[in-house]
Amino acid sequence: MSISTAIAQARGPGRPRSLASEEAILDATMQILAREGYGGLTTDKIAALAKASKSTIYRRWPSKEHMVLAAFDRSPPLEPKNSDDLLNDLLDIVMQLVDLIRQTPLGGALPALVFERSHNAQLAEALDPVIERRREPTKAILRSAILRGDLPKNTDLELAVDLIWGPVILRTIFTPGDVSIGALRTLLAVVVSGLIHGPVPLRIGGAHGV
């Protein structure tokens, strides 16, 4: 379940792996990420700061990116508010991530993971379930709204999640876009409007004269 291999280790003979080292390594990763950015993150620096050896590192994770991912995975999941106000709940959870990205070293590392994922199947395998899990709180909010009748029963959750997060991620990571609370509120309000009213019929326009 965890990214870490240490915990799942079968208890055989020989010296057991040190949990302290493991944490020191991930802590060091976060510190360097915060201080010097992803470009300044090297395995040697991590080892030096964590007072661990590189073999201790590579025994646990096959590459630098996996370490970043493991460090990322230690951050607590987004917490869905589940009040009875859909828009506010969505806004809250969206702001949680935006703040996380803007205020912690993880923001700077996310593009690196995305990049690495694109040509590293091993990392994709590790990253995808983590991403998948991160979508869950949003789905919980949507399910509650459906139960309350605030959204149609046949709402496609995956599509809804993409509609919500797509523009946010775009503005946060891709493009230097407006992610103020006001802008996000409007954005979400339009998305929710689309979800409530459902997709438009296949042909829009062209029937004006009629």
Partner DNA sequence: CAGTAATCGAGACGGTACGTCCCGTCTTTAT
Partner DNA sequence: ATAAAGACGGGACGTACCGTCTCGATTACTG
Q: Which of residues 101-140 bind a copy of itself (CB under 8 A)?
A: 108, 110-112, 114-115, 117-120, 124, 128, 131
Q: Which is nearer to DNA, 64 or 117 (CB)?
A: 64
Q: Which of residues 19-58 bind DNA (CB under 7 A)?
A: 21-22, 40-44, 47, 51-56, 58
Smallest separation (angstroms) from a copy of itself to the CB of 110: 8
Smallest separation (angstroms) from a copy of itself to the CB of 107: 8
Q: How far apart are CA 107 and CA 25, in angstroms?
A: 19
Is residue 16 part of the contact set for DNA (CB under 7 A)? yes
- Using the contact rule CB under 8 A, the part of the chain among 24-32, 72-80, 92-100, 163-171 near a copy of itself is 163-171
Q: Which of residues 84-143 bind DNA (CB under 7 A)?
A: none
Contact 74, 19 (CB under 8 A): no
Q: Using CB under 7 A as the criterion, which residues of the chain lie in contact with DNA when the complex forms?
A: 9, 11-18, 21-22, 40-44, 47, 51-56, 58-60, 62-64
